């Protein structure tokens, strides 16, 4: 893992349970890295997610993510996507603010850091641990489906208004502190739907990388 990426490009953080990782996660990471001009996008499995329970162990979820990104190590493959295991190495709940603080300490105070989340996460951001400190450590890039809308009132709306950016270029002017909402056409794939398909004995080919499918079969995940 690069500890000191190009200071002009910055680092993206894309967290989740990845239970299992699928093409929606991967394609969104690729597109965000391109649009934001990132040196790298770090995909971080939540070892102990505080707001939801993972189906499989963090170790299995990390292994599947590493397999999904393994083909990116070649010279002709998609570069810049990195599996980051730091939340598995840390005890206690996997709080995003702690992860951002760790990465900020590694890359320095001047490198832009981008926390990439979905609109559903942004709407409930005030339920996150020390949520108001997130913008002190990173920019918050929210991926929303076309037709998205913010809450009509409340502290999340006020937080967004206080930090709102209107373009990706504005995020490069500072290492943290802005919120950008990007409308993107997301692939209609979900980990829940994949798990349900596996339980019904249906194929998940082309929804999940082949290496991950082989891993799921080998370890008999999601079948019960």
Residue ranges in 45-127 assigned as alpha helix (H):
58-70, 96-107, 119-123
Q: How many domains does the chain have?
A: 1
Query: Is 197 domain-assigned?
Result: no
Structure tokens, 123? 């709407």
Query: Is 198 domain-assigned?
Result: no
Query: Is 207 domain-assigned?
Result: no
Range of the domain at 21: 11-187
Within 8 A by CB and 6+ apart from 102, the residues are 86
Query: Is 73 domain-assigned?
Result: yes
CB 149 within 8 A of CB 173: no
Determine how many CB atoms are found less than 10 A away from the CB of residue 142: 22
Query: Is 201 domain-assigned?
Result: no
Going edge to edge, which strands form the sheet with 179-183? 81-83, 40-45, 11-16, 113-118, 139-144, 179-183
| pLDDT per position as a tens digit, 30-85 | 999 999 999 999 999 999 999 888 999 999 999 999 999 986 544 345 689 999 99
Its pTM stands at 0.92
pLDDT of 1 > 50? The answer is no
Tell me the mean pLDDT in the region 4-27: 85
Query: Is 36 domain-assigned?
Result: yes
CATH number at residue 43: 3.40.50.620
Query: Is 103 domain-assigned?
Result: yes
How far apart are alpha carbons 168 and 33 in whole angstroms? 11
In this structure, the strands spanning 11-16 and 40-45 are: parallel
Query: Is 19 domain-assigned?
Result: yes
| pLDDT per position as a tens digit, 145-164 | 888 888 899 999 999 999 99
């Amino acid at each position: 893992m690069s500890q000191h990426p190009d200071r002009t490009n910055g680092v993206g953080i894309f967290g989740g349970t990845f239970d299992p990782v699928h093409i929606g996660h991967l394609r969104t990471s690729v597109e965000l890295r391109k649009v934001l001009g990132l040196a790298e996008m770090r995909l971080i499995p939540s070892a102990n997610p505080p707001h939801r329970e993972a189906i499989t162990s963090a170790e299995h979820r990390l292994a599947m993510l590493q397999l999904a990104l393994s083909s990116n190590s070649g010279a002709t493959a998609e570069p810049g996507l990195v599996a980051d295991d730091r939340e598995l190495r840390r005890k206690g709940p996997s709080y995003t603010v702690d992860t951002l603080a760790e990465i900020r300490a590694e890359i320095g105070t001047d490198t832009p850091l981008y926390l990439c989340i979905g609109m559903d996460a942004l709407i409930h951001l005030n339920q996150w641990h020390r949520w108001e400190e997130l913008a002190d450590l990173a920019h918050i890039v929210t991926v929303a489906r076309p037709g998205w809308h913010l809450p009509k009132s409340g502290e999340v709306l006020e937080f967004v208004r206080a930090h709102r950016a209107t373009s990706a270029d504005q995020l490069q002017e500072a290492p943290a502190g802005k919120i950008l909402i990007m409308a993107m056409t997301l692939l209609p794939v979900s980990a829940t739907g994949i798990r349900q398909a596996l339980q019904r004995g249906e194929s998940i080919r082309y929804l999940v990388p082949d290496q991950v499918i082989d891993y799921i079969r080998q370890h008999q995940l999601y079948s019960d």
